[in-house]
Amino acid sequence: MIVDQLINGIVLGSVYALMAIGYTMVWNVLRFINFAHGEVYMGGAFVALTTMYLGAPVWLAYSCGMLSGALLGYLMEKLVYKKMRTAPKLNLLIAAIGIAIVLQNSAQLIWGASPERLASPFLANNVNIGGMMVNQHYIFIIIVTIIVMFLLEFFMNRTLMGKAVQAASQNIQATELMGINANKVISITFAIGSGVGALAGILVGPVFLVFPTMGVFAGLKGFTASVMGGMGNIPGAMVAGLMLGVLESFAAGFISSGYRDAVAMVILLAILLLRPQGIFGKVVAEKV
């Protein structure tokens, strides 16, 4: 039972980690919580579902879903957030929630409310690992997450654009003065964060189904993971995502499944109060 819960936890945690990246990257450059990020997760999964329905092979459908997720994030920024750069944070927050409501309900209009299953070539098989039967799709999720983490790490540290994103998260005005196009950096950030978020949605689609409100709780969890890891800290967000998934799974298994979602919220509150810089964050003196 402990091993069961651990595997469930790691699978869930991988998804949370992928979600957390989107929140953290956007926070890095714009210092705001993109509450519509959960909807990217849902949108990507639905597009993958539709492409597959049209007869595309699995890999093509998954990539289409990811790309459309990235596009959705990009458009969100271009159409709404860009126009609100000088707005108070509260307005931005409410606008983000408004976008989430619009996207959820458009999805319901287009695809209907009933959950649908995204196909996966791996779901039907179990593999035997040391006497434990583990579903192949779970292993697929974990492997994909690890690959994405390495790719992101490479992008952030080894490419020019990645370095520009890092610079922008230090100080966006200074970045602009150095001749880097800040708008482009912000767009790229949104696109990458959203693409990864959409991938998370596509990965869970075969297990937890695809439906219009799927992004709400996934968004909250990803968001909690990003706070746990320290807002703006990408490796921190990944580790925190995994931790959250495992903790949640154990709590659901040994305490009560109804309070599964409460675990994340209690952790969120505790982190905010005791260690607002996150588990892996450094203490930064507030500039006055």
Partner 1 sequence: MIFGKTKFNGCIAFFMALTLILAGCSSEDGSSSKAEASDKSESIRVGLQAPMTGDNAQYGQDMKNGVDLAFKKINAEGGVNGKKLELVVGDDKATPSEAVAVVNKMIMNDNVKAIIGGYNSSPTLAAQEVSKNAKALHVHMGASPEFTTLDNDYLYRIILTGQVYVPAVLKYMAEEKGIKKIASIYENTDYGITMSDSARKAAESVGVEFIATETYNPGDKNFSSQLSKIKKMKPDAVMIVGLYNEVALIAQQAKQAGLDVQFFSPDDSMYSEQLIELGGDAVENHIFASMINMEMDTEAMNEFIKLSEENNIEPEANTAIAYDAALALAKAFEEGGDSPEKVRDAMAKIQMEGTTGLIQFDEDGERSNAPMIMQVKDQKFIIIQE
Partner 2 sequence: MEHIRKLGYRRLGLLIGVIALLMIPLGITNPYFMYVINLILIYILLVLGLDLIVGYTGQVSIGHGAFFGIGAYIAAIFSTKLGLSFWFTLPIAILATAIIGFIIGFIGLKLIEEYLVMATLAFGTIIWLVFLNWTDVTGGPMGIALIPSPPAMNFGIFQLSFTQYADYYPLLLFFVIVAIIFTKLLINSGFGRACTAIRDDELAAQSMGIPVFRTKVVMFTISAAYCGAAGTLYAHFIHVVSPETFNFTMSVTILTMVMIGGQGSIIGAVLGASLLTIFSEALRATPELRMLIYGLLIVIMMMFFPRGIMGIINYYRKQIEKRALLKKMKGAKATVDVKKEGLGYE
The binding site for partner 1 (CB under 8 A) comprises 1, 4-5, 8, 12, 108, 112-117, 123-124, 126, 133, 135, 138, 207-209, 211, 213-214, 249, 252-253, 257-258, 260
Sign of CA dihedral 28, 30, 34, 40: negative
| 210-239 binders of partner 2 (CB under 8 A) | 216, 220, 223-224, 227
Q: Choose the contact partner of 106 out of partner 1, partner 2, none; CB within 5 to 8 A by kind.
A: partner 2
Among 72, 66, 85, 67, which Cα is nearest to 36's?
72
Choice from 87, 119, 123, 279 touching partner 2 (CB under 8 A): 87
> For residues 50 and 44, what is the distance between their CA atoms, to the nearest angstrom?
10
> For residues 27 and 285, what is the distance between their CA atoms, to the nearest angstrom?
18
Q: Would you give the distance in Å from CA 238 to the centre of its chain? A: 10
Rg from Cα positions in the chain? 19
Q: Choose the contact partner of 187 out of partner 2, partner 1, none; CB within 5 to 8 A by kind.
A: none
Nearer to partner 1, 125 or 159 (CB): 125
CB of 4 vs partner 1, minimal distance in Å: 4
Among 241, 225, 251, 246, which Cα is nearest to 14's?
241
Answer whether 40's CB lies under 8 Å from 73's CB.
yes
Is 255 a binding residue for partner 2 by CB under 8 A? The answer is no
Is 105 a binding residue for partner 2 by CB under 8 A? The answer is yes
> For residues 222 and 37, what is the distance between their CA atoms, to the nearest angstrom?
9
CA angle centred on 263, ends 248 and 2, rounded to 5°: 25
Nearer to partner 2, 206 or 241 (CB): 241
Query: Phi/psi of residue 139, each to 5°?
Result: -65, -40
Contacts with partner 2, 31-70, as mask; x by CB under 8 A: xxx-------------------------------------
CB proximity list for 89: less than 8 A, separation 6 or greater: 31, 32
Is 108 a binding residue for partner 2 by CB under 8 A? The answer is yes
Nearer to partner 2, 102 or 174 (CB): 102
Three-state secondary-structure class, residue 90? helix
Stretch that binds partner 2, among 55-63, 115-123, 195-203, 267-275 (CB under 8 A): 267-275
Rule CB under 8 A: which residues touch partner 2? 31-33, 80, 83-84, 86-95, 97-106, 108-109, 216, 220, 223-224, 227, 256, 258-259, 261-262, 265-266, 268-269, 272-273, 276, 288
